[in-house]
Amino acid sequence: MQLNPKQHKLARQVTSNFKFPLFLVKSLPMGWIAGLRVRELTGKKCVTSVPFKYLTKNPFKSTYFAVQSMAAELSTATPCLLAITGQKPSVAFIIVDLKATFSKKATDRVYFTCEDGAKAFEAVENCIKTGESAEATFKTVGKMRDGTIVSEFEFTWSFKQRKS
């Protein structure tokens, strides 16, 4: 999958340890407080992480489910953002469904990996080609450093052309 120059620039910005936290402070302050990071972004894959720390834990000494949800959503939303960047006509996207499973306590940094990035590009292409809205479901898996799966999410995103 070939990225356009604007998409390459976005990928560099969101994986920057300097620029992305500044974006979070301005646009998503809870993400900044939680310590969200985008570790990797390509046209096919996105990896995000969230630390286990005082501000992200629950009374049961694990990462709070809502904090995991933020990091999981980021791992599916970022490929969608990448896919719409630089497109003509402009395309908007919004989450329309969410499913989650929590299987273990998250007691360390959790890495969420979504390998469904190509679905975003297909949905955007479909949306532009037909003029109709398109939906795509993205799976992301949260693992601690030792490989233990702590949660799995499925987010369904809807894409629609913006009116000129």
Hey, where are the domains in the chain? Answer: 5-161
**What is the mean pLDDT of the segment spanning 126-131?**
94
Look up residue 119 and give its DSSP letter: H
> How far from the centroid of its chain's Cα atoms is residue 164's Cα?
27
- Residue keyed to tokens 């919004």: 94
**What is the mean pLDDT of the segment spanning 88-107?**
96
CA gap 64, 43 in Å, rounded: 29
Q: Taking 80 as the threshold, does the pLDDT of residue 80 lie above it?
A: yes
pLDDT bin (cut points 50, 70, 90) of residue 3 is confident
Contacts of 80 (CB under 8 A, 6+ apart): 93, 120, 138, 157, 159
Q: Taking 80 as the threshold, does the pLDDT of residue 1 lie above it?
A: no
pLDDT in tens, 24-47: 999 999 999 999 999 999 999 999
pLDDT bin (cut points 50, 70, 90) of residue 16 is very high
**What is the mean pLDDT of the segment spanning 83-101?**
96
CA triple 78-44-11, angle to 5 deg:
45
CATH number of 5-161: 3.10.129.10
- The pLDDT assigned to 95 comes to 97
Q: Please state whether 105 falls in left (phi above 0), alpha (psi between -120 and 50) or beta.
A: beta
CB atoms within 10 A of CB 47: 19
User: pTM of the prediction?
Assistant: 0.94
Nearest to 114 by CA among 163, 44, 62, 37: 44
**What is the mean pLDDT of the segment spanning 109-118?**
97
Q: What mean pLDDT, rounded, does the chain reach? A: 95
- The pLDDT assigned to 107 comes to 97
Q: Taking 90 as the threshold, does the pLDDT of residue 164 lie above it?
A: no
- The pLDDT assigned to 2 comes to 83
